[in-house]
Amino acid sequence: MTFRLSSRAMTIPETASAKEQTVWHVAHMLDDEGKAPSLEQLAARVGKSPGHLQRAFKQVTGLSPAAFARALREERAVRALEQGGRVTDAIYDAGYESPARFYAAMRERLGMSPSAWRKGGAGVRIGWRVVETSLGPMLLAATDKGVCRLSFNEGEADLRDHFPAAELVEGGLPDGLLERVLRQVEGHGASGDVPLDTGGTAFQRRVWAQLRAIPRGETRSYAEIAAAVGNPKASRAVGGVNGANPVAVLVPCHRVIAADGSLGGYAYGEAIKRALLRREAGEG
């Protein structure tokens, strides 16, 4: 089952499991309240322990209840601003207690500022390495906020093309990050365990959030992702955002396939996409 960030648009299928029904009801509670209830309050309302609810919610949506509530709040503010609303109205209507809280949340969410991304990483230090994996040579690059690029069969010159104004430091990755990324790339790490710094427009971030919510071993079509972000006619745009994903595997764009069930395209070749899907399906 795919959850949209706006839970009001969700419909729960008759075949939903008891766990999915519980998560759906909690998502509605988070969307209905200006200030999100605590995990303990949510758990009491659905008759579950806080730990059980936390695990179930993350398994179904890819986010914890607190992260889901933050995403809803940010989404409300961003959509209001995109529609031309007054900044202060958008911030308070979305549930923020002050403009400072909103801007702090957005800095944490965006990592590298949008202007820095547009200017090719100007003023940003990016550590990078190329390492061998079972899928071929992998380029990993990261700021102090998180991974800004993960690709295959690329090197420093390619990274420079994406961030021509950044300070590139070979080997300058945050401690432990490479090991965490390798565990996920090789199929041994938990989804969402690696911090990201991917920039992107509001629409791109909505699509990438939906990709991260696709459970391991499952796939979605471009049309399903378009519907999940609230724009069923945007399949072509979703395809473009999918192709522009700067962090392969961590944002699992390989889990999006063509409507007829064929693999569809992949920036790093169908062989890598097929290998990832087979591995996740338990076939290798």
Do residues 210 and 273 both lie within one domain?
A: yes
Q: How far apart are CA 74 and CA 109, in angstroms?
A: 9
In a domain, 197, yes or no: no
* pLDDT value of position 105: 59
Domain holding 27: CATH number? 1.10.10.60
The residues near 177 (Cβ < 8 Å, ≥ 6 apart) are 140, 142, 147, 194
pLDDT tens per residue across span 183-214:
999 987 665 678 888 877 777 888 888 898 88
**Going by DSSP bridges, is the β-strand pair 167-170/125-133 parallel, antiparallel, or unpaired?**
parallel
pLDDT tens per residue across span 113-135:
555 656 677 788 999 999 999 99
Do residues 135 and 179 both lie within one domain?
A: yes
Active-site residue, selected from the candidate residues 1, 173, 185, 253: 253
Residue 148 bears catalytic tag = no
Q: How far apart are CA 161 and CA 234, in angstroms?
A: 29
Q: Collapsing DSSP states into helix, strand and coil, what is residue 29? A: helix
pLDDT band for 276, please (50, 70, 90 cuts). Answer: very high
pLDDT band for 55, please (50, 70, 90 cuts). Answer: confident
Mean pLDDT on 71-82? 62
pLDDT tens per residue across span 130-161:
999 999 999 999 998 889 999 999 999 999 99
Residues of the domain holding 34: 1-109
Is it the case that residue 253 has pLDDT exceeding 90?
A: yes
Do residues 142 and 80 both lie within one domain?
A: no
Domain holding 264: CATH number? 1.10.10.10
Count Cβ atoms below 10 Å from residue 60 Cβ, excluding itself.
22
Do residues 9 and 27 both lie within one domain?
A: yes
In a domain, 221, yes or no: yes
Do residues 3 and 91 both lie within one domain?
A: yes
Q: For the sheet containing 136-142, what is the strand order?
A: 147-152, 136-142, 125-133, 167-170
